[in-house]
Amino acid sequence: MKPEKLQPLPGMNDLQFPEILHWQHVEEVARNVFGRFGLREVRTPLLERAELFERSIGDTTDVVQKEMYVFEDRGGRRVALRPEGTAGVLRNLAGRGPEGRAERVYYMGPMFRSERPQAGRRRQFHQIGVEILGPAEPLVDAECIVLQVLLLEAFGLKKFGLRLNTRGSEKDLPRLRRSLRDLLESRQARLCEDCRRRLQSNVLRILDCKQETCQAVVRELPPLDEFMSQESRDYFNRLERALDEIGISYEREPRLIRGLDYYLHTIWEIFHPALGAQDAISGGGRYRVDLGGESIEGIGFALGMERVIEALQAEGAGALSAATDGPQVWLVSIGRDAALANLALATDLRRKGLHCGGEFQSRSAKAQMRAAGRSGAELVIVRGSAEIERGTVVLKDMKTGNEDAVPLTEIVETVLGRVNREAGHDTAGTSR
């Protein structure tokens, strides 16, 4: 067991080889897909004024009320580690003036929520997100959803499902809340303790309460869109038609509501059946956020990188080979003089772009060969005092076991030739 001091904080993990290969893969694929949709990357600070999140996410939400890392900085400002990405990105875009109001951007990076860790839920977790600004338009919503589906497909995921719903327009929301409260108040005896509190603070959340008793009450309610205007219903119908036309399958989920206050109209979640309790790998929606007296409209989504990677592993698609970034050449040195000479040679080879390994300390030849074998290198260069005298090295092919004496003057050339041939042959299916 490691001493406590050497362990990271609860819910915060080191990411390292070999799992890090999955992370790099996901990031690389995401950048590629975003390029196809004309999105630019934006990187915003991890630390922001606490009120930025309180105002945009909503100060009655759980995320803000009990999960945010809030503290005072040295200047006496109330600051918070970002619990999600949208607020910071919108702050940035709003500050860019009118052009910012039509930007399409993506971001990726760590977010922080002080919850009790469990499978698929860390205190520091990582999201990849997208924000497409501009006035409400069903076709933009459809494009955003398509983007997200293509992204997940590009990662190699197959078994995910899309749940879709609408919260109605900004004008509908107050009426929706009021109607729900009226309907639910008469049945509040059958609601759980939390939901009775939510009647006042956040009625909508009652809809997706997990308590069976509350679910029963919710099932008695009429469909939500009965409380919405004709425009809102038309808006959602146009979106559904667009998705059908494009060929994106989804499931209408009338009780889907989502936890942040800024959503309106289209909202959705993407879940993966292999994931257990935390099965939402991604979620998004259309929003309107007021920042500094200006209101910003757009649509966006965020996906949880650790959940996506977990899903990839569950599907068995993520079998990334550790060998893809291993050394191509390994240098074995017998004696200190040889070690120095080999370090010089390794420098030449590395300058030419080769992946070189080797220990420049005189262990036994046997131990060094064992290490060479384990490294997976295709070629091994062996040099001892005899080779130094003759001005040669021994070049060994680890597959065939053949050894040749190669003059020092030709070794770089020879290795480059051999490795290139093998590389062209061998890496067809890998991502080197």
What x/- string results for residues 312 through 341 when contact with RNA is judged by CB under 7 A?
----------------------x-------
Q: In this chain, which stretch among 207-215, 216-224, 246-254, 422-430 interacts with RNA, using CB under 7 A?
A: 207-215
143 near RNA, rule: CB under 7 A? no
Is the CB of 304 or the CB of 357 nearer to RNA?
A: 304
The Cβ-side half-sphere exposure at 4, using a 13 Å CA radius, reads: 1
* Beta strand pairing call for 329-333 and 379-383: parallel
For the beta carbon of residue 60, count every other beta carbon within 10 angstroms. Answer: 14
For the beta carbon of residue 285, count every other beta carbon within 10 angstroms. Answer: 25
Would you tell me the crossing angle of helices 172-185 and 193-201 to the nearest 10 degrees?
Answer: 140
Site for RNA in 104-133 (CB under 7 A): 113, 115-122, 125, 127
What x/- string results for residues 357 through 386 when contact with RNA is judged by CB under 7 A?
------xxxxx-xxxxxx-----x-xxxxx
Q: Cβ 200 to RNA, closest distance in Å?
A: 15
Contacting RNA (CB under 7 A), which of 62, 143, 325, 422? 62
Q: In this chain, which stretch among 144-152, 162-170, 232-240, 276-284 interacts with RNA, using CB under 7 A?
A: 276-284
Q: Cβ 134 to RNA, closest distance in Å?
A: 21
Q: End-to-end alpha-carbon separation of the chain, Å?
A: 36
Q: Is 49 helix (H, G, I), strand (E, B) or coil?
A: strand
Q: Cβ 144 to RNA, closest distance in Å?
A: 14
Closest CA to 268 of 278, 281, 258: 258
For the beta carbon of residue 213, count every other beta carbon within 10 angstroms. Answer: 12
Q: Cβ 230 to RNA, closest distance in Å?
A: 28
Q: Cβ 21 to RNA, closest distance in Å?
A: 19
Residue 407 phi, psi (nearest 5)? -60, 145
Contacting RNA (CB under 7 A), which of 396, 411, 415, 419? 396
Is the CB of 232 or the CB of 392 nearer to RNA?
A: 392
Closest CA to 266 of 106, 177, 407, 140: 140
Q: In this chain, which stretch among 30-38, 202-210, 223-231, 242-250 interacts with RNA, using CB under 7 A?
A: 202-210
Q: In this chain, which stretch among 68-76, 139-147, 205-213, 233-241 interacts with RNA, using CB under 7 A?
A: 205-213
258 near RNA, rule: CB under 7 A? yes
Is the CB of 122 or the CB of 167 nearer to RNA?
A: 122
Q: Cβ 252 to RNA, closest distance in Å?
A: 18
Three-state DSSP string of 175-236: HHHHHHHHHHHCCHHHCCHHHHHHHHHCHHHHHHCCCHHHHHHHHCCCCHHHHCCHHHHHHH
399 near RNA, rule: CB under 7 A? yes
Q: Cβ 245 to RNA, closest distance in Å?
A: 26
391 near RNA, rule: CB under 7 A? no
Contacting RNA (CB under 7 A), which of 282, 331, 406, 419? 282
CA distances from 394 to 59, 203, 236, 290 (A): 70, 77, 71, 70
193 near RNA, rule: CB under 7 A? no
Check: CB of residue 144 under 8 Å from CB of residue 132. yes
Q: Measured between alpha carbons, how far is 175 from 416 in angstroms, rounded to an integer?
A: 72
CA distances from 409 to 55, 272, 394 (A): 69, 58, 13
Closest CA to 64 of 77, 75, 52, 74: 52
Site for RNA in 39-58 (CB under 7 A): none
Q: Cβ 314 to RNA, closest distance in Å?
A: 12
